[in-house]
Amino acid sequence: MRRVTVTASRTYDILIGRGLINDAGKWIAQAVKPCQAALITDDIVDGLYGGTVERSLKENGFGVHKFVFPNGEQSKTWQVLGEMLEFMAGEQLTRGDIVVALGGGVTGDMAGFAAAVYARGIRFVQIPTTLLAAVDSSVGGKTAVDLKAAKNMAGAFCQPSQVLIDCDVLEKLPDELVGDGAAEIIKYGVLADRDLFETMRRGRLMENLEDIVEKCVTIKRDVVAEDEFDNGARQCLNLGHTLGHAVEKNSNFTLTHGKGVSVGMMLIARAAWKKGYSEENLVPAIEEAVRAYGLPTKTDYSPEELARVALVDKKRRGGEITLVVPKRIGKCDLIKVPVGELAGWAAQED
């Protein structure tokens, strides 16, 4: 088992290994004394792992109060969050109790938010069951629900007390969910780690799963330690996301997040090369990497459409937008661009 320690407003361990979910209660008891646990999960994950985690928590002295919601982004709302909080109150959870988030990013973000606000804040543990949640959303303490105007528009920074990543769970994921996580992993490679990028480019994710998960959470850990509240350096994690999110939104979220990020990275790499920001043309390398996981490289939306949608993004500050621009594999810069120039960064061809 590997252990990555995050030092932020709360210090906690990310445990990465095989079969961890079977002993979830034992691992959690290392971070949190046995107490009452609100086990929060969606219907799909409940069917796969709910029973295992519940049993292990009980065997290790935790009381379990399970809350299951319908899977998918459409559940990431105030309404479901409210039901979750009312459930916790109905079960009489107190300040000393915990939330266990078992599932993908939707579960982690929403259960984390519930923990952040219930009784003015209780502790929570993340057990990510998607690759995206393992390498990205479960680490770093951003919690949220969606508003009608924008995704993740209401939330709180709240660090978990522990993250348990079971690579046996990740290995069994369907291809589409592997692709979504792969897009984020390729992003980490482009941002900070050439070896990681090359491993992904060769399609060797599954053979190196534990190494790769450890590298990604370590990169994210370091970024979060520098800028927990997202005022500067943490923005680099948005590589491919400004335009990628616009692609996702324009498709009415029929395209998954990873697919949007994949196209977003391609667009920004192409523009960065054409505008002279990159030291080499990264488009062919990124294209090869994303293709290895069945991710798209192009979109039918026009640059103007993408720019318009991207500018509703909450990361916009005043008349400028911050873009993450790749210089070479392993090194990206943050640059500020006037909003009127954004479409020029979203062109697919000459």
Residue of the chain from 130, 250, 278, 299 that contacts ligand NAD (CB under 6 A): 130
Question: Does 297 engage in binding with ligand NAD (CB under 6 A)?
Answer: no
Question: Does 173 engage in binding with ligand NAD (CB under 6 A)?
Answer: yes
Determine how many CB atoms are found less than 10 A away from the CB of residue 247: 28
Question: Does 42 engage in binding with ligand NAD (CB under 6 A)?
Answer: yes
Binding region for ligand NAD (CB under 6 A) out of 7-15, 135-143, 210-218, 300-308: 135-143
Question: Does 56 engage in binding with ligand NAD (CB under 6 A)?
Answer: no
Give the residue with the Cβ less far from ligand NAD, 93 or 139. Answer: 139
Q: Please report how close the Cβ of residue 194 comes to ligand NAD at its closest, in angstroms.
A: 23
Q: Please report how close the Cβ of residue 146 comes to ligand NAD at its closest, in angstroms.
A: 7
**Cβ atoms of 244 and 265 closer than 8 Å:** yes
Binding region for ligand NAD (CB under 6 A) out of 3-11, 126-134, 226-234, 317-325: 126-134
Question: Does 238 engage in binding with ligand NAD (CB under 6 A)?
Answer: no
The span from the CA of 224 to the CA of 170, in Å, is: 24
The span from the CA of 213 to the CA of 310, in Å, is: 29
Residue of the chain from 76, 187, 221, 245 that contacts ligand NAD (CB under 6 A): 76
Q: Please report how close the Cβ of residue 319 comes to ligand NAD at its closest, in angstroms.
A: 26
Question: Does 326 engage in binding with ligand NAD (CB under 6 A)?
Answer: no
Which pairs count as long-range contacts for 313-320, CB under 8 Å and 24+ apart, including other chains? 313/150, 313/242, 313/245, 313/246, 314/150, 314/152, 314/153, 315/235, 315/238, 315/242
The span from the CA of 306 to the CA of 151, in Å, is: 16
Question: Does 104 engage in binding with ligand NAD (CB under 6 A)?
Answer: yes
Q: Please report how close the Cβ of residue 242 comes to ligand NAD at its closest, in angstroms.
A: 14
Question: Does 264 engage in binding with ligand NAD (CB under 6 A)?
Answer: no
Question: Does 129 engage in binding with ligand NAD (CB under 6 A)?
Answer: yes
Q: Which of 256, 242, 264, 238 is nearest to 309 (CA)?
A: 242
Question: Does 105 engage in binding with ligand NAD (CB under 6 A)?
Answer: yes
Alpha helix segments (H runs only) across 91-128: 105-117
The beta strand positions in 122-211, using DSSP E, are 123-128, 142-145, 154-157, 162-166
* Tokens 């949608």, residue located: 309
The span from the CA of 268 to the CA of 145, in Å, is: 28
Q: Which of 80, 84, 87, 34 is nearest to 59 (CA)?
A: 34
Q: Which of 264, 291, 266, 295 is nearest to 281 (CA)?
A: 266
Give the residue with the Cβ less far from ligand NAD, 65 or 151. Answer: 151
Q: How far is CA 332 from CA 120, 241, 349, in A?
A: 38, 14, 22
Position of minimal CB gap to ligand NAD = 105
Question: Does 137 engage in binding with ligand NAD (CB under 6 A)?
Answer: yes
Question: Does 189 engage in binding with ligand NAD (CB under 6 A)?
Answer: no
Question: Does 249 engage in binding with ligand NAD (CB under 6 A)?
Answer: no
Positions that interact with ligand NAD (CB under 6 A)? 42, 44-45, 48, 71-73, 76, 103-107, 109, 129-130, 132-133, 136-137, 140, 142, 151-152, 169, 173, 177, 180, 257
